Chain A
Amino acid sequence: MEENYQQIIKKNKAVTTGKTVLLYLGLTVWGVVVLFPFYWMLLTSVKSYSSYNAEYVPKLYTLAPTIRNYIDAFTAVPLARYFLNTLIFTVLTTLFMLFVTILAAFAFARLSFKGKDIVFAFFLSLMMIPNELVVITNFVTVTNLDLRNSFAGLILPSVTSVFYIYLLKENFEQIPEELYKAAKVDGTSDWRYLWKVMIPICRPTIVTITILKVIECWNSYIWPRLITDDAAYFLVSNGIQEIRENGFGRENIPAMMAAVVVISLPLVILFLIFHKKIMEGVSRGGTKG
Chain B
Amino acid sequence: MKKRSSSQFKAWLYLLPAALFLAVFLVYPLIDVLIYSFEEGFNFASQTYQGTGLYNYSYVLHDPYFIQALKNTFLIVIITVPLSTGLALLISLGLNKIKALKDLFQTIFFLPYVTNTLAVGLVFMILFKKTAYTDGMINVLLHAFGSPGVDFIEGPYWAKMFVMCLYTIWVVLPFKILILTSALASVNPMYYKAARVDGTSPARIFFRITLPMISPMIFYLVITGFIGAFKAYSDEVALFGTNLNAAGMNTIVGYVYDMLYGDSGGYPSYASAAALILFIVILTITAINLLVSNKKVSM
Contacts and interface: CB of A to CB of B under 8 A. Distances in A.
Do A and B have CB atoms closer than 8 angstroms in the complex?
yes
Interface in B87-105: 90-91, 94-95, 97-98, 101, 105
B135 interface: yes
B21 to A, nearest CB: 4
A104 B108 contact: no
Interface in A61-111: 99-101, 103-104, 106-108, 111
B256 A132 contact: yes
Interface in B24-43: 24-30, 32-33, 36
Contact of A283 (B29, B117, B182): B182
Contact of A134 (B30, B97, B116): B30
Given A55-B134, A107-B14, A136-B275, A240 B119 contact: yes
* B interface secondary structure, majority: helix
Contacts of A103: 14-15, 17-18
B1 interface: no
B108 A31 contact: yes
B159 interface: no
A58 B140 contact: yes
A222 B29 contact: no
Nearest to A104: B18
B107 A275 contact: yes
B172 A156 contact: no
B79 interface: no
Contacts of B21: 100, 156, 159-160
B209 to A, nearest CB: 18
A215 B234 contact: no
A263 B18 contact: no
A119 B10 contact: no
A160 B15 CA distance: 12
A92 to B, nearest CB: 14
Contact of A126 (B15, B27, B224): B27
Contact of A241 (B105, B110, B118): B118
Contact of A132 (B44, B119, B275): B275
Nearest to B127: A40
B87 to A, nearest CB: 8
Nearest to A242: B242
B123 to A, nearest CB: 4
Interface in B225-243: 227-228, 231, 233-234, 237, 241-242
A279 B133 CA distance: 41
Contacts of B67: none
Contacts of A140: 32, 44, 268
B122 interface: yes
Given A27-B91, A113-B8, A136-B272, A282 B29 contact: no
Given A34-B108, A99-B17, A104-B18, 18 more contacts: A26-B90, A34-B109, A56-B133, A103-B14, A104-B17, A104-B19, A107-B11, A126-B22, A129-B30, A132-B275, A133-B279, A134-B33, A135-B257, A136-B29, A141-B29, A160-B26, A237-B234, A271-B110
19 contacts: A24-B101, A26-B91, A30-B109, A40-B123, A107-B11, A107-B15, A129-B30, A136-B36, A160-B26, A221-B237, A237-B116, A244-B122, A260-B123, A264-B119, A267-B114, A267-B116, A279-B110, A288-B175, A289-B231
